[in-house]
Amino acid sequence: MRRRIVALVAGMITLVVLAFAVPLALVIRHNVYNDATRRAQDETNRIAVFLHDYPAPTNSQITTYLKTVPHTASVELQDGTVLGSPPPGGVTAATVIQTGVDSGFQGQGHDPGPPQPQTKAYHGGRVWQLGVFNPGGQSLTVVRVYASDNSLHSGETGWWILLGGSSLGLLLIGIGLAELMGRRLVRPLVRTAETAQQLAIGETGARAPTDGPPEIAEVGRSLNRLADRIDELIAEERETVADLSHRLRTPLTTLRLDAEALSDPAEAERVGLHVNALERMLTAVIHAARRPQREGRMPSCDARDVVADRVEYWSALTEDQGRACSVSMPDGPVPVRAAAEDLAAAVDALLENVIAHTPEGTDFSVTLAVTDAGARLEVGDSGPGIPEDADLRGRSDRGSSGLGLDIARRCAQGSGGSMTIGRSAADGALVTLILGRP
């Protein structure tokens, strides 16, 4: 957009400059030509005055004087002798201009004033001719000055260069001002567009600038009001989810009591495990719903710290069951685009899946590696494996509701990655989470 503004302003300035420069160039051409012709006419007059006022000048004196004239100048005497440099083509008084007695100086006492040379176009230029009588009025001398068209227009180049330089300078100044104006207009728009993109990816704390031209500032204020409203709606939604989850605790408590009242201890234990899993899920939902709003929809965390913490948490149970755990993680931080609580819930779900669905003593491994896209988390075991569709939410398999793997899958997809289920090197289950970079 800034380039379009600069191009538009530059085009307008160019039109304005041309509108003034072209007529001014024609005026310069006309004035330079008129000045040159006036100088040639004055030169003719000065030669005539010299011949009229100087007492009986010799031919050598006349020739010396003619050399001081800038243009081609000559004097034709009464006897036909031509002194100086005559015009091209062998011009004579008869062939160029017939000069009568009234067109030049006359005798003393009858001087009509400054002489008026006659002029006409001749041989690619102009020639000025003036007849001069001696004081006695008997001898006629013809003065001629010739100037080519090139010499008459020779003074135009300097003026045109000055005009072109001034026009170019004005154009550059205009482009510079247009660039500054374009930046002043575009910079707030660019920042507003960046804010809109941040809001689109979940950075609800981003705000647009409200400076610049009034219209652009109003766009920024409107976008900020929209962002504020989004924050309010997200907060209301989270609070609603948390309230609904709290309401489920009462029937959950009743369900726990009913499970404990079962006469079959094995059945009571089985139902109790499901109740405990459901309670953990409710607690996670409440905690996630009331996560600080400043995290936005795309928080981040150090996956290495989270995975290490959850492996340490489950280590007491795995050691008690005689499970050997192989852990491989990078030495440095591994930032991923996921909240620490969500990633911890995903790791807990995967480790709990290993413990719940493999015999005691089954070995498992946890591997965290850095990738170009972010990170890769693998949890594998040497147990019986997992069906390919076990991550479908609500699917029941070996007493599992499928919620654990669904939590892990949603965490991976929320970070911009994915989850896959395959076979480990020990022919057991291998769950891989691809986590995006923040």
Domain spans of the chain, in order of start: 2-157, 201-297, 299-436
* C-alpha radius of gyration, the chain, whole number: 51
Helix (H) or strand (E) holding 38: helix 2-53
Q: Do residues 300 and 337 touch, judged by C-beta distance below 8 A?
A: yes
CATH class of 201-297: mainly alpha
Q: Do residues 422 and 368 touch, judged by C-beta distance below 8 A?
A: no
pLDDT surpassing 60 at residue 293:
no
User: Does 3.40.50.300 match the CATH number of domain 299-436?
Assistant: no
Bridge partners of residue 419, in order along the sequence: 433
Count of positions (residues) in the chain:
438
Burial tier of 106 (Cβ tally within 10 Å: 0-12, 13-18, 19+): middle
- Strand, helix or coil for residue 181: helix
Q: Do residues 275 and 255 touch, judged by C-beta distance below 8 A?
A: yes
Amino acid identity, position 386: I
> DSSP E strands: which ranges in 343-417?
364-370, 374-381
pLDDT surpassing 60 at residue 295:
no
As a dihedral over the C-alpha atoms of residue 346, residue 349, residue 350, residue 353, rounded to 10 degrees, the angle is -170
Least confident segment among 92-106, 146-160, 177-191: 92-106
CA-based torsion, 214, 217, 223, 227: positive or negative: negative
Q: What is the pLDDT of residue 5?
A: 67
Least confident segment among 56-65, 89-98, 251-260, 327-336: 89-98
Percent of the chain with pLDDT over 70: 83
As a dihedral over the C-alpha atoms of residue 276, residue 279, residue 284, residue 285, rounded to 10 degrees, the angle is 150
Distance CA 322, CA 29 (A): 105
pLDDT surpassing 90 at residue 370:
yes
* Lookup result for tokens 């499928």: 402
User: Does 1.10.1740 match the CATH number of domain 2-157?
Assistant: no
Q: Do residues 227 and 254 touch, judged by C-beta distance below 8 A?
A: no
94-to-74, 77, 313 alpha-carbon distances in Å: 15, 14, 126
363-to-137, 326, 379, 381, 428 alpha-carbon distances in Å: 140, 8, 11, 6, 10
pLDDT surpassing 90 at residue 365:
yes
3-state helix, strand, coil in the chain (%, to 5): 55, 15, 30
Number of other residues whose CB lies within 10 A of the CB of residue 407: 20
Q: What is the pLDDT of residue 291?
A: 61
Q: Do residues 189 and 220 touch, judged by C-beta distance below 8 A?
A: no
133 vs 153: which has the higher pLDDT: 153
The token duo for 99 is 């000069």
Burial tier of 391 (Cβ tally within 10 Å: 0-12, 13-18, 19+): buried
Q: Which residues, other chains included, contact 420 with Cβ-Cβ below 8 Å and sequence gap of 6+?
A: 431, 432, 434
Q: Do residues 316 and 310 touch, judged by C-beta distance below 8 A?
A: no
Burial tier of 233 (Cβ tally within 10 Å: 0-12, 13-18, 19+): exposed
Same fold, 2-157 and 201-297: no
Nearest Cα to 388, choosing from 370, 416, 409, 367? 409
How confident is residue 115, by pLDDT bands cut at 50, 70 and 90?
low
How confident is residue 310, by pLDDT bands cut at 50, 70 and 90?
very high
pLDDT surpassing 80 at residue 372:
yes
Over range 208-229, report the average pLDDT.
86
pLDDT surpassing 80 at residue 277:
no
Distance CA 156, CA 126 (A): 18
What backbone torsions phi and psi does residue 377 show, to the nearest 5 degrees? -115, 125
